[in-house]
Amino acid sequence: MSKTPELIVNDLRVAVEGKEILKGLSLQVAKGEIHALMGPNGSGKSTLANTLMGHPRYEVTGGEILFKGLSILEMEADERSRAGLFMAFQYPVAIPGLSVANFLRSALNARLVRPETNGSGTMPQKKGIAPREFRALLKGQMALLKMDESFATRYLNDGFSGGEKKRAEILQMALLKPEIAIMDETDSGLDIDALRVVSDGVNALAGPDLGVLVITHYQRILNYIKPHRVHVMVDGRISVSGGPELALELETRGYDWVRNGKEVTAP
Amino acid sequence: MTTEPTTTVGIRDGYAEKYGFHDDEQHVFKSKMGLTPEIVAQISDMKGEPKWMRDYRLKALEIFEKKPMPTWGGNVGEIDFKNIYYYVKPTSQETKSWDDVPADMKRTFDKLGIPEAEQKFLSGVGAQYDSEVVYHKIKESLEKQGVIFLSCDHGLKEHEELFKQYFGTVIPSSDNKFAALNSAVWSGGSFIYVPKGVKVDVPLQAYFRINTKDMGQFERTLIIVDEGAYVHYVEGCTAPVYSSDSLHSAVVEIIVKAGGRCRYTTIQNWSNNVYNLVTKRALAYRDATMEWVDGNLGSKLTMKYPSVYMMEPGAHGEILSIAFAGRGQHQDAGGKVVHCAPHTTSKIISKSISKDGGRAGYRGLVKVQKGATDCRSNVNCDALLLDEASRSDTYPYMEIEEDRVSIGHEATVSKIGDEQLFYLMSRGISKDDAAAMIVSGFIEPIVKELPMEYAVEMNRLIQLQMEGSVG
User: What are the pLDDT digits (tens) for A208-255?
Assistant: 999 999 998 878 888 889 999 999 999 999 999 999 888 888 878 877
| Cβ contacts of A89 on chain B, cutoff 8 Å | 423, 426
Residue B458 lies in a domain: no
pLDDT at A265: 43
pLDDT at A120: 43
CB contact under 8 A, A110 and B423: no
Q: State the burial class of residue A26 (Cβ atoms within 10 Å of its Cβ: 0-12, 13-18, 19+).
A: middle
Q: Which of B422, B442, B445 minimises the CB distance to A77? A: B422
| Cβ contacts of B438 on chain A, cutoff 8 Å | 95, 98
> For residues A36 and A211, is the Cβ–Cβ distance under 8 A?
no
Which chain A residue is nearest to residue B442, measuring alpha carbons?
A97
Query: SS3 for A3?
Result: coil
| B377 contact partners, CB below 8 Å, separation of at least 6 | B337, B339, B345, B346, B347, B348, B366, B368, B405, B406, B407, B408
What are residue B312's phi and psi, to 5 degrees?
-140, 160
pLDDT at A267: 38
CA B275 and chain centroid, separation = 12
H/E stretch holding A1 reads none
Residue of A95, A112, A129, A171 to mutate for B, most B C-beta atoms under 10 A: A95
CB contact under 8 A, B440 and A98: yes
pLDDT at A157: 95
Query: Using CA atoms, how far apart are residues B329 and B331, in angstroms rounded to an integer?
Result: 7
| Cβ contacts of B452 on chain A, cutoff 8 Å | none
| B309 touches A at CB < 8 Å | no
Q: Where in chain A is the domain with CATH 3.40.50.300?
A: 1-91+179-267
Residue A41 CB neighbours (<10 A) = 10
pLDDT at B2: 41
Residue B423 lies in a domain: no
Nearest to A197 by CA among A219, A231, A174: A174
Beta bridge partners of B294: B266, B321
Nearest to B292 by CA among B262, B314, B269: B262
First to last CA, chain A: 19
Q: Which of B420, B428, B442 minimises the CB distance to A110? A: B428
| B369 touches A at CB < 8 Å | no
| Cβ contacts of B439 on chain A, cutoff 8 Å | none
The 10 Å CB-count burial string (b at 16+, else e) for A164-176 is bbbbbbbbbbbbb
Which chain B residue is nearest to residue A93, measuring alpha carbons?
B420
| B387 touches A at CB < 8 Å | no
Query: Using CA atoms, how far apart are residues A122 and B397, in angstroms rounded to an integer?
Result: 57
Q: Chain B: give the shortest CA distance to residue A226, in Å.
A: 26
Which chain B residue is nearest to residue A111, measuring alpha carbons?
B428
pLDDT at A126: 55
> For residues A60 and A12, is the Cβ–Cβ distance under 8 A?
yes
CB contact under 8 A, A106 and B441: no
Size of interface A-B (CB pairs under 8 A): 80
H/E stretch holding A34 reads strand A34-38
Pairing, β B359-368 against β B345-354: unpaired
The upper half-sphere exposure of residue B13, i.e. CA atoms within 13 Å in the direction of its Cβ, equals 5
For chain B, the three-class secondary structure string (H helix, E strand, C coil) is CEECCCCCCCCCHHHHHHCCCEECCCCCEECCECCCHHHHHHHHHHHCCCHHHHHHHHHHHHHHHHCCCCCCCCCCCCCCHHHCECCEECCCCCECCHHHCCHHHHHHHHHCCHHHHHHHHCCEEEEEECCEEEEEEECHHHHHCCCEEEEHHHHHHHCHHHHHHHCCCCCCHHHCHHHHHHHHHCCCCEEEEECCCCECCCCEEEEEECCCCCEEECCEEEEEECCCCEEEEEEEEECCCCCCCEEECCEEEEEECCCCEEEEEEEECCCCCEEEEEEEEEEECCCCEEEEEEEECCCCEEEECCEEEECCCCCEEEEEEEEEECCCCEEEEEEEEEECCCCCEEEEEEEEEECCCCEEEEEEEEEECCCCCCEEEEEEEEEEECCCCCEEEEEEEEEECCCCEEEEEEEEEEECCHHHHHHHHCCCCCHHHHHHHHHHHHHHHHHCCCCHHHHHHHHHHHHHHHCCCCC
Sign of torsion over alpha carbons A237, A239, A245, A249: negative
Spans of chain A, pLDDT less than 50 = 1, 116-125, 262-267
Q: Give the helix ranges, DSSP H, for A125-263.
A: 131-144, 162-176, 192-205, 245-253, 256-259
| Cβ contacts of A172 on chain B, cutoff 8 Å | 427
| B52 touches A at CB < 8 Å | no
First to last CA, chain B: 37
Query: SS3 for A70?
Result: strand
Q: What is the pLDDT along chain B (471 residues), one digit of tens a residue?
A: 344 433 333 446 688 889 999 999 889 999 999 999 999 999 999 999 999 999 999 999 999 999 999 999 999 999 999 999 999 999 999 999 999 999 999 999 999 999 999 999 999 999 999 999 999 999 999 999 999 999 999 999 999 999 999 999 999 999 999 999 999 999 999 999 999 999 999 999 999 999 999 999 999 999 999 999 999 999 999 999 999 999 999 999 999 999 999 999 999 999 999 999 999 999 999 999 999 999 999 999 999 999 999 999 999 999 999 999 999 999 999 999 999 999 999 999 999 999 999 999 999 999 999 999 999 999 999 999 999 999 999 999 999 999 999 999 999 998 888 899 999 999 999 998 999 999 999 999 999 888 888 988 888 888 888 875 544
Q: Which of A57, A97, A107 minimises the CB distance to B440? A: A97
Q: Chain A: give the shortest CA distance to residue B365, in Å.
A: 27
| Cβ contacts of B423 on chain A, cutoff 8 Å | 89, 92-93, 95
Instruction: For residue B219, give its domain range.
Output: 25-64+81-253+276-284
pLDDT at A185: 80
Q: State the burial class of residue A158 (Cβ atoms within 10 Å of its Cβ: 0-12, 13-18, 19+).
A: middle
Residue B344 lies in a domain: no
| Cβ contacts of B442 on chain A, cutoff 8 Å | 96-97
CB contact under 8 A, A97 and B443: yes
Query: Using CA atoms, how far apart are residues A190 and A163, in angstroms rounded to an integer?
Result: 8
Q: Chain A: give the shortest CA distance to residue B333, in Å.
A: 22
Residue A50 CB neighbours (<10 A) = 23
Query: Using CA atoms, how far apart are residues B209 and B186, in angstroms rounded to an integer?
Result: 15
CB contact under 8 A, A81 and B424: no
CB contact under 8 A, A95 and B426: no
> For residues A179 and A68, is the Cβ–Cβ distance under 8 A?
yes
Residue of B414, B423, B456 to mutate for A, most A C-beta atoms under 10 A: B423
Q: Which of A89, A96, A102 minimises the CB distance to B423? A: A89
Query: Using CA atoms, how far apart are residues A220 and A204, in angstroms rounded to an integer?
Result: 18
CB contact under 8 A, B440 and A95: no
Residue of A106, A108, A157, A169 to mutate for B, most B C-beta atoms under 10 A: A106
Query: Using CA atoms, how far apart are residues A170 and A177, in angstroms rounded to an integer?
Result: 10
For B130-150, the three-class secondary structure string (H helix, E strand, C coil) is CCEEEEEEECHHHHHCCCEEE
Query: Using CA atoms, how far apart are residues A231 and A108, in angstroms rounded to an integer?
Result: 33
The CATH class of the A1-91+179-267 domain is alpha beta
Query: Using CA atoms, how far apart are residues A80 and B350, in angstroms rounded to an integer?
Result: 37
Nearest to A228 by CA among A243, A215, A246: A243
Residue of B320, B382, B416, B425 to mutate for A, most A C-beta atoms under 10 A: B425
**Which residues, numbered 428 to 447 in chain B, qualify as contacts with chain A under a Cβ-Cβ cut-off of 8 Å?**
428-431, 433-434, 437-438, 440-445
pLDDT at B12: 63
Residue B97 lies in a domain: yes
Residue B358 lies in a domain: no
Q: Chain A: give the shortest CA distance to residue B292, in Å.
A: 21
| Cβ contacts of B428 on chain A, cutoff 8 Å | 78, 81-82, 107, 110-111, 176
CB contact under 8 A, B444 and A98: yes
Chain A contact residues (CB < 8 Å to B):
53-57, 76-78, 80-82, 86-87, 89, 92-93, 95-98, 102-103, 106-107, 110-111, 155-156, 172, 176
| B205 contact partners, CB below 8 Å, separation of at least 6 | B114, B117, B118, B122, B124, B125, B126, B233, B234, B235, B236
Nearest to A80 by CA among A111, A109, A115: A111
Query: Using CA atoms, how far apart are residues B93 and B397, in angstroms rounded to an integer?
Result: 45
Name the domain count of chain B. 1
Nearest to B270 by CA among B294, B244, B298: B298
Residue B242 lies in a domain: yes
| Cβ contacts of B422 on chain A, cutoff 8 Å | 53, 55-56, 77, 93
Q: Which of A53, A92, A95 minimises the CB distance to B441? A: A95
Which chain B residue is nearest to residue A156, measuring alpha carbons?
B441
